[in-house]
Structure 1
């Protein structure tokens, strides 16, 4: 056994991050160790112990405590553990602080010309006997720093996207090994980025100069020599300003580079004394290069275009070797899909999304610097027709989050779907959670992030990513009395205050806490969380109903399909129902969060508010008999998942939801709001078969419909592409939108079967014959929980389970009484501690891929023996056998027909009839297997 790693505030060796005088240190073992462990933590600064614990019995390897930090200090962390046999195991790591709000020596410097899109700031200096060196730097506009022509750090698009009027992030780099004895040149290249370039809607195309109109930078290069003396090279008026090889750059625009352009001094830097930016040590995770893609295929179209197909839709850029002659111009345009064999990019709207360069003929490796693109296909112009494919590489860029969750099944289309979900996340987690990476938007839409937060946190370690985004939301709320804009940061956006979208303020911090157990995210955001609920409360009072959110304009169930015109932007679930339900949901979250933080008065207040909202909701949206007034898939799923219904009405809601789904031919009709709730609502209420049916559909509308049409990411719309491959519309049609990928959260919790409960978990999988084998893992606060289950045959299930040290797992298996664990018999619903387990059992009832009362007629009417037996049980079977009726009603299930045929004198099935019909289906399948 070894300690595989130690994380500091959910990061590996954080350098210069804002740790907020709080440490959450977690050690992870390289195996599922189950014996006793003793633990000790030691922290040193300047080789002196500044914090240590006593040896203690370890329940886990998590240490959480306040810790006052000193600026620009390197801390060594040592975790020691002893096993029962007194074997001592150590693991060392470190973290280092930034400026912690102290004033920098340097000044903001820039250039007077507001019209330039990129400049280079330059300073020469000399060093000797360097022992340690750190570059503390930021920019207004995006920056890249170079020491002697070599890029500092391996991250891009720094210092990230924030409300620069409120705070700018300060980054720290270790450059100790770069400074040999002698003369050096430090250069800072700046470009518009999110600060000065076009960003936002306004309406489509964005607005320039949202935060400022001149590029500038601030830096301190602090050097300690071998004698201990400190030397500081800071930004001031002595720096030179040079022209940049980048002639134009923008997030939507792309980038133009002239490598043939001679470097010229434009003047000396201006000390921007009027700039008084609030500097904050970085929150943003670094945006790094990740996967590299070779060209899958080079396409020469009938129109004469040369198009590169990288086989995967992603966000990033292309890196290539320049083989053009000096003075020649090449350009690359980016798109997500081909149409009729030709390059297509009309769905990018006004985003130019193009990279151009003029060659210097020196054969350099080329890539953009201050932009990125969402694409699978790239059209080349100015390049030779017969290119060397090995010269071009697609580079995926995204925030540096470790991958923690996986699911792999026996169904290759489902596996591709899960890859699509992950690529949607990677493509849109670029400092902020954007809606899409390709068109003139790329904004931190709050609703999308709230909907997807759970799935995102299963797939990757998103703690610091969402801590930063929650901080950005709180910044916007602080300016608007709790009101949350539609997207964050919100450079041009005054609209907002919408249900679900605004609830990102409560949902994201609460989900982050639930997944990690780290209260710091709640402590940071509890004020903003309360202010959002208070804002809703004030709106409700203004609208003359204190405990319902009625009458305001909402986005509703965005892009749902339960309307006459499926190209409409929202479904028919009442806005007031969604808004009032989320009024309750956020109130409930805040009451739980304040209780977690031991804020007794606030917990009582928001708990009572949630209670009153729930009472008002039930009174307003249900009849006195307990019947729901809004029978849509989304409306019913919300009520079930949020427990918003009168006592005794649960079965009514479930039956109505099943009926609504069957009216839609056992397909979903949900939009942004309903999609993450639909399958959990079914699975939580004994409708796993129907949930699986919806999940595995591969015709429109469904997740696998996209896979069948060759999608490699999740689409914005269910019908983004028609069955013939034609894109449905240009105006708002991203092919890389992660929100519908929220279904993967259901897959982790129900299909794979891992549902987290603080440090522990419940393992309760949907073991079924349609997906007969699955393996995967997800991160608990203590480590990785690994699972694999296999339906060997209808009467045998095999499972392996690996539980990390510090966690327990309750095993609750379907159709199980006695189970075998590591060759010993045990009861179902047993709680297992850390360790590795081999589990098997014989189901009390065979697990088969059978039809049931909810199966459409078209799937079984060819079985004459089954139909003859059904005729004895189904009162309206004779009616179905009337000429043409079987064909007419083949898309409906027996259950649905029993509901619909009340009008011609038949009664709906009772539970006894349903059980008899289901037993007949089961018997028919078993007899068929025996034959």
Structure 2
């Protein structure tokens, strides 16, 4: 019978597709596939449509939800049945059923009616599981080791608990968090594949827990739980000057296991004073300095039921048993990704044994090798070799980036770290006298498991390598928080870097949940007067706040997230933080001029004399501050318009006018010249519309003249660079934008590429042409900020964008603008609606454009030709095609289209 049903389903699915029936797939709850640990009372549900015809649109939908997949398919005992809802919304639909319960699993599916009124079949069943919704749902207690901890070396503590499951188990869910980092095991098997859990948040205000389905790890009868802790970000070394214990000095564990038996009864196993504690093979583990593992001290079988733990210590209940700050994990965890083998093993001129993995990456090296008991192998990590070919670590500052493995001596042994990570391309091996075989070493890339969404390629291979470097800079630095760099004694969530790179980040990867989590920490660490820290989580204190272009992350990222994902709920959540930041600037600005306080300025701009730390910036820092003051105020007005906050619109619109008037009075001469004549000054003034329209064209010309005076090179830093090419192309200087993009001598985006870079550098000349280095005190070779050029490549070269009044790519703009020496470019982007593609080439005097538009969206395609009569689609004139609407202008032709694939050609 089951086989017959399956055959019928296959038969129906085949013929539904053949007949052109719209399909529903790719179901998401809270932007994730079948998530666990949902603690939102009304989750957001999304789905995609697909079919084999053009112009597919949704006219209505029906959602149903149940606690049983079987009953769901029968349409019985539903938690929610929306009924038929006449609406085209297929993204971020709010759950509207009965109240959801802690720990419960819910199953759901959707069907739609298309633009022809034809109903789809029900989608495949998706699911989500709720987290613990109230502090009272936690029955566990915080526990700490019962032995006296070594406060210097700080070996990782082990916790252990055995229990009996006397009945047949139906399901089991574990809820785990730690003060520090944890790695859990049940009956000797690792729980989940997430790394560096529970992740990094502003721990005193927000502490994440993770939720795991561990049904398959348990057994009827004896069971054992084992958990290892590391100091991590909680109490490990952070920032500079060997500073540690920023959030607390004692690691701790909170563990709860909810078991449901087949007879309907439940049991809860919790962390309490019945647990045991000891130490094991991890002698110390620090994020900056690495990890030391002594395999001789490993307690074999310590997380199995039969292990003898009578010599272990007990545990003590923590004096702080607060659970009110516990939050579910909404973002993707850190996981292992790409693997690399050494591309070469060599001896340096200094006699060092070094491995080259060919890619600057973030993660660690797994070693599988034999050694004598008590011998060790030491791995030190670096990004570059010096100009003599020797291992170079000066730019790491105090960070040791060293992993040490001490052999047990019982055959081939496998080592890898647990609670640290390194940024590296090269690894120096010491302490091991045997032959180094590349088969024994594997580098793993670690980063938050955000789905890849965007890609870009073109006819210029140096630009393609630049795109590679941009993506790898993001992978290495999006490790639970958006860090500035992943290798030296820093690795912090600098706000300026994050806001500068956000739009590029949102193209490369689905960063909705990643940034939603981090923005909540931005708001949590925001001072009561509205000032925003330089970095988040804030480990610098309440005085390290309020710098223009850094603190503006509070407005820039939420608004741009709304444009990328159309998540109105997130914009609403962040609105108080946005408003508080604008109010802070307002209070710092007598006569509406912000000319007070500390500002980083156009950090690490190019200047021939600047080999220190960027503090000799030639762009007036208060001019920059005024520009960002206006920009944030504009974004607040934008958000208020979306959210219907009419009183705020009425208040801040005249304020914005006064801010711009104060800028003109203070920084602009009567004939339109800025008091700072730098590229960044003109870029910011033009990008943020600080100048009246009558002065903008001449300002753009002055920008171009400035670029020419530097022999067609940029001079911008962290704040000017993201907008530079956008301003040039917006004001009619596309040719100069391409000249800068394709420039390959210092300072330029392609100079590091030609120097062999595989990631984005912190400085334009981190490595000089003679292979000497910039100031070692600040010279990261994996620092994503200057990768913000990616946004221009995607939105201008490939031409993929979204309309601000229809965000989230509901109404798509396809407007490629060829230039320079490029003859071809392709961009693809996975959105919540499906894939967008824009691929153009110049071929035999023709402009050829292939476009893909996902179902339930529309697009405006701009063709860079003067006459609409010249445009063909799949060999037919567009004027003859009913599903394409042509709109002509003097400079370009636009085509209004629906979903589907299109092949446009036009004579140039």
Structures share fold, TM-score greater than 0.5: yes
* Residue number in structure 2 paired with 1:857: none
Which 10-residue stretch deviates more, 516-525 or 66-75?
66-75
Q: The residue matched to 1:218 in structure 2 has which SS?
A: strand
Quote how far apart the aligned CAs of 1:687 are.
0.8
Take 1:811 and 1:344, find their aligned partners in 2: how far apart are those partners? 50
> Which digits, 9 at most, give the CA deviation of each residue in 1:120-163, with x for residues without a partner?
11001122311000001100010010112211001100001112
Take 1:206 and 1:653, find their aligned partners in 2: how far apart are those partners? 48
Which 10-residue stretch deviates more, 503-512 or 18-27?
18-27
Alignment partner of 2:906 out of 817, 837, 841: 841
Alignment partner of 1:45 out of 67, 75, 78: 67
Which 10-residue stretch deviates more, 771-780 or 441-450?
771-780
Q: Kindly tell me the number of residue pairs found equivalent between the two proteins.
A: 834
Which 10-residue stretch deviates more, 175-184 or 436-445?
175-184
* Residue number in structure 2 paired with 1:926: none
Quote how far apart the aligned CAs of 1:634 are.
0.5
* Residue number in structure 2 paired with 1:919: none
* Residue number in structure 1 paired with 2:211: 172
Take 1:373 and 1:55, find their aligned partners in 2: how far apart are those partners? 53
Take 2:503 and 2:516, find their aligned partners in 1: how far apart are those partners? 14
Take 1:791 and 1:572, find their aligned partners in 2: how far apart are those partners? 41
> Which digits, 9 at most, give the CA deviation of each residue in 1:190-210, with x for residues without a partner?
01000111112xxx2442111
Q: Does 1:559 align with 2:604?
A: yes
Take 1:4 and 1:786, find their aligned partners in 2: how far apart are those partners? 20
Alignment partner of 1:35 out of 56, 65, 68: 56
Q: Does 1:122 align with 2:153?
A: no
- On the 8 A contact 1:32/1:802 being kept in 2, the answer is no
Q: Does 1:228 align with 2:228?
A: no
Q: The residue matched to 2:292 in structure 1 has which SS?
A: strand
Take 1:313 and 1:53, find their aligned partners in 2: how far apart are those partners? 50
Quote how far apart the aligned CAs of 1:302 are.
2.8
Q: Report 1:476-875 matches (<5 A).
A: 476-477=525-526, 479-493=527-541, 494-540=543-589, 545-562=590-607, 564-565=609-610, 567-570=612-615, 571-757=617-803, 758=807, 759-768=810-819, 770-793=821-844, 795-818=845-868, 819-826=871-878, 827=886, 828-843=893-908
* Residue number in structure 1 paired with 2:285: 249
Quote how far apart the aligned CAs of 1:564 are.
3.9
Quote how far apart the aligned CAs of 1:57 are.
5.5
* Residue number in structure 2 paired with 1:289: 336
In structure 1, list runs of 5 or more residues that go unmatched. Answer: 844-931
Q: Does 1:315 align with 2:362?
A: yes
Take 2:52 and 2:380, find their aligned partners in 1: how far apart are those partners? 48
Alignment partner of 1:101 out of 130, 134, 144: 134
Alignment partner of 1:110 out of 141, 144, 148: 144
> Which digits, 9 at most, give the CA deviation of each residue in 1:488-523, with x for residues without a partner?
101233312100100001111111111001112112
Take 1:779 and 1:606, find their aligned partners in 2: how far apart are those partners? 36
Q: TM-score, normalised by structure 1?
A: 0.87
Take 1:87 and 1:29, find their aligned partners in 2: how far apart are those partners? 10
Q: Report 1:178-257 matches (<5 A).
A: 178-200=217-239, 204-257=240-293
* Residue number in structure 2 paired with 1:6: 27
Quote how far apart the aligned CAs of 1:817 are.
1.5
Take 1:629 and 1:91, find their aligned partners in 2: how far apart are those partners? 62
Quote how far apart the aligned CAs of 1:44 are.
1.6
* Residue number in structure 2 paired with 1:163: 202
Which 10-residue stretch deviates more, 382-391 or 115-124?
382-391
* Residue number in structure 2 paired with 1:348: 396
Take 1:32 and 1:149, find their aligned partners in 2: how far apart are those partners? 52
- On the 8 A contact 1:107/1:273 being kept in 2, the answer is no
Quote how far apart the aligned CAs of 1:365 are.
2.2
Take 1:207 and 1:643, find their aligned partners in 2: how far apart are those partners? 43
Take 2:62 and 2:42, find their aligned partners in 1: how far apart are those partners? 21
> Which digits, 9 at most, give the CA deviation of each residue in 1:337-358, with x for residues without a partner?
0111211111100001100011
* Residue number in structure 1 paired with 2:74: none
Alignment partner of 1:272 out of 315, 318, 333: 318
Q: The residue matched to 1:812 in structure 2 has which SS?
A: strand
Take 1:563 and 1:54, find their aligned partners in 2: how far apart are those partners? 67
* Residue number in structure 2 paired with 1:327: 374
Q: Does 1:25 align with 2:72?
A: no
CA change 1:12–1:692 in 2 (3 A) is same
Quote how far apart the aligned CAs of 1:262 are.
5.1
Quote how far apart the aligned CAs of 1:611 are.
2.1
Quote how far apart the aligned CAs of 1:547 are.
1.1
RMSD of equivalent CA atoms? 1.8
Alignment partner of 2:409 out of 333, 354, 361: 361
Q: TM-score, normalised by structure 2?
A: 0.89
Q: The residue matched to 2:61 in structure 1 has which SS?
A: strand
> Which digits, 9 at most, give the CA deviation of each residue in 1:293-348, with x for residues without a partner?
11111112232221111100010001121311222111100000011121111110
Take 1:63 and 1:487, find their aligned partners in 2: how far apart are those partners? 30
> Which digits, 9 at most, give the CA deviation of each residue in 1:9-48, with x for residues without a partner?
2111111034363424233537775235453221223553
Q: The residue matched to 1:90 in structure 2 has which SS?
A: coil
CA change 1:706–1:31 in 2 (3 A) is farther
Q: The residue matched to 1:506 in structure 2 has which SS?
A: helix
- On the 8 A contact 2:157/2:277 being kept in 1, the answer is yes
Take 2:843 and 2:30, find their aligned partners in 1: how far apart are those partners? 42
Q: Does 1:62 align with 2:91?
A: yes
Quote how far apart the aligned CAs of 1:553 are.
2.1
* Residue number in structure 2 paired with 1:72: 103
